[in-house]
Amino acid sequence: MGRLIVVSNRVALPSGTKSPGGLAVGVYDALRDSGGIWLGWNGETAADADADQALSTVTQDNITYATFPLAARDYDRYYRGFSNAVLWPVFHYRADLSRYRRADYDGYLQVNRAFVRRLAPLLRPDDVIWVHDYHLLALGGFCREQGIRNRIGFFLHIPFPTAEVFKAIPPHHALAQAMCAYDVVGFQTASDARAFSDYCVQHLGAEREASGVHVADRRVRIGTYPIGIDVDGVAAMARAKRSRQVAALKSGLEHRKLVISVDRLDYSKGLLERFAAFEQLLESAPAHRGRVSFVQLAPPSRSDVQGYREIRRELDRAAGRINGKWGELGWAPLRYINRAYERATLMPLLRAAQVGLVTPLRDGMNLVAKEYIAAQPPDDPGVLVLSQFAGAACEMEEGALIVNPYDTEGMADSLDRALHMPLAERIARYERLMQGLRLHDLAAWKDRFLADLRSSAKPGVTTKLPTLPA
Ligand code: ADQ
């Protein structure tokens, strides 16, 4: 079996201080099994000349981590600009927040090309390449342009929008063409996969086939690979001895029930709508006043991208207003905390909550929904209240209470139902959800994707390929 080469925007270095999240664990296991290389940005920016310099490599446990800094200009155009101010909002159905500039798109293509320049010398003929996420949509096209004939797969962690929304990105055509240079293109949900193949059929003249599309003499396999979690790992972490933070939270709660939400601070996560629903609950069900606390953990992310500063300001205002209006001397209804916690602290916190409130306006999957369930005590589990717009809703609709995040009163009703749900119903729902989590766990995700990639037809040298702008 050939080696695996993983390419992603960021690389989780083995010496990193942050404990690795779901994706890093899955990629790490896959790489360790077959031996391989993980190539990507090291998270630092450098002066333009320094950034062009060689790759730093570290090898540990059969894995070589090959990383490099980004030039400050590239960080601006590729990362902050096209990736996070165009692709992220549009793919999350927020074309109104998109800030397209040609220079950013050029920077995006240049960085995708620079990734290929660094990748090419590392490759052996039987290596398979697995590329991750929206920062690298064009990488496959540049690999083919460079004559790389290895099998290359791509997995999109975020939603893929319908054609009408995708077309809000001026170079949508070139981007979709570049995606067709991959042998396997994987999505979180069947509707994301359908949206991509519909676009290919409607706008690239592709023919639909049983396993994907046929476009410009290439067969592209299009599949659904819902990402999962390491269920036993999360459960064990959640059960482990309680940290000081968890003890402090518990004693502060006294005997109140706890509703918890954990997100990166991002407009796609629906925090304002969630705060409004919690306030609606206090308004319409007075019995909960003084008896329920809502903890929202949301460390700021991408604070240098426009759109993120505004949402942060609005949330500060809403949290202050809710506590000012409803709080009492001995009770703060909402604790809104802008800092990140280690996973070893986070999982016991999830376990301590009677309700996990996961209500994004749009989300590729949302691993917190899955982690919340895996963290629960089996004999007294909490209830997951989940947005219909999270990818996770496709697999969790039978056990979670599914809500529409735009329906404030509906969300408040579901919160009320979750807080009152009898033990037998909670256990039945938890058991159903755990079965699904085990079936679609992290190992199944990477095994299925890699099996499809390894068995895809090897791209021939004469294959006609889609082209990208120079
Ligand atoms: P994210 O948007 O980052 O990821 P999510 O899946 O919710 O979203 O979280 C990823 C990981 O980060 C989880 O393991 C979670 O525990 C951790 N995390 C989130 N908030 C945290 C916090 N406040 N403190 C500490 N840890 C936190 C993208 C897509 C998702 C998709 C993932 C994986 O946007 O839809 O599920 O990739 O494919």
- Render 272-313 in DSSP notation, one character per residue: HHHHHHHHHHHHH-GGGTTTEEEEEE--B--TTSTTHHHHHH
235 shares its domain with 216: no
Phi, psi of 209, rounded to the nearest 5 degrees: -130, 170
174 shares its domain with 274: no
Q: Which atom of ligand 1 is nearest to the CA of 346?
A: 25
Please indicate, yes or no, if residue 451 is contained in any of the structural domains: yes
Nearest to 148 by CA among 131, 171, 173: 131
Q: Going by CA atoms, what residue is nearest to atom 9 of ligand 1?
A: 367
> Quick check: CB of 346 below 6 Å from ligand 1?
yes
Q: What is the mean pLDDT of each run of 10 residues along the chain (470 residues)?
A: 93 71 74 91 84 83 94 96 98 97 98 97 96 97 96 97 98 97 98 98 96 94 96 95 80 90 95 98 97 95 85 95 96 94 93 97 97 98 98 97 98 98 98 98 95 86 54
Which tokens go with 303?
A: 């604070």
219 shares its domain with 332: no
> Quick check: CB of 434 below 6 Å from ligand 1?
no
Q: Which atom of ligand 1 is nearest to the CA of 188?
A: 38
Q: Which atom of ligand 1 is nearest to the CA of 367?
A: 6
> Quick check: CB of 297 below 6 Å from ligand 1?
yes
Which pLDDT value is given to residue 346?
Answer: 94
126 shares its domain with 268: no
Q: What is the pTM of this model?
A: 0.95
Which pLDDT value is given to residue 14?
Answer: 80
Please indicate, yes or no, if residue 468 is contained in any of the structural domains: no
Torsion angle of C-alpha atoms 31, 36, 42, 48, degrees rounded to 10? -150
> Quick check: CB of 165 below 6 Å from ligand 1?
no
Instruction: Give residue 350's domain range.
Output: 231-439
Torsion angle of C-alpha atoms 120, 124, 126, 131, degrees rounded to 10? -30
Q: What whole-number distance in Å separates Cα of residue 354 and Cα of residue 258?
A: 6
Q: Which amino acid is at 364?
A: G
User: What angle in degrees, to the nearest 10, is found between the helix axes of 244-253 and 343-352?
Assistant: 20
Please indicate, yes or no, if residue 469 is contained in any of the structural domains: no
Give the residues across from 334 on adjacent strands: 294
Nearby residues of 267 by Cβ (< 8 Å), 6 or more positions away: 89, 94, 97, 307, 308, 311, 361
Q: What whole-number distance in Å separates Cα of residue 34 and Cα of residue 164?
A: 40
Contact 312, 303 (CB under 8 A): yes
Q: What whole-number distance in Å separates Cα of residue 432 and Cα of residue 420?
A: 19
Which pLDDT value is given to residue 303?
Answer: 83
Name the DSSP letter for residue 331.
Answer: B
100 shares its domain with 55: yes
Phi, psi of 8, rounded to the nearest 5 degrees: -145, 160
Residue recorded with tokens 């949900």: 189
Q: Which atom of ligand 1 is nearest to the CA of 229?
A: 14
> Quick check: CB of 368 below 6 Å from ligand 1?
yes
| Torsion region of 235: left, alpha or beta (phi above 0 gives left; psi -120 to 50 gives alpha) | alpha
361 shares its domain with 261: yes
Q: What whole-number distance in Å separates Cα of residue 79 and Cα of residue 73?
A: 10
Q: What whole-number distance in Å separates Cα of residue 239 and Cα of residue 125?
A: 45
210 shares its domain with 277: no
Which tokens go with 259?
A: 């509703």
331 shares its domain with 361: yes
204 shares its domain with 311: no
126 shares its domain with 274: no
| Active-site amino acid positions | 157, 363
Centre of ligand 1 from the C-alpha of residue 263, in Å = 7
Please indicate, yes or no, if residue 467 is contained in any of the structural domains: no
User: What angle in degrees, to the nearest 10, is found between the helix axes of 367-374 and 423-439?
Assistant: 120
Q: Going by CA atoms, what residue is nearest to atom 27 of ligand 1?
A: 263
Which pLDDT value is given to residue 469?
Answer: 61
CATH of the domain at 186: 3.40.50.2000
Q: What whole-number distance in Å separates Cα of residue 81 and Cα of residue 98?
A: 10
Beta-strand pair 56-60/63-71: antiparallel
326 shares its domain with 411: yes
Which pLDDT value is given to residue 177?
Answer: 96
Contact 8, 40 (CB under 8 A): yes
Total domains in the chain come to 2
Which pLDDT value is given to residue 49?
Answer: 65
Task: Say if residue 147 is exposed, middle or buried (CB neighbours under 10 Å; 0-12, 13-18, 19+).
Answer: exposed
> Quick check: CB of 233 below 6 Å from ligand 1?
no
Nearest to 361 by CA among 167, 89, 132, 162: 89
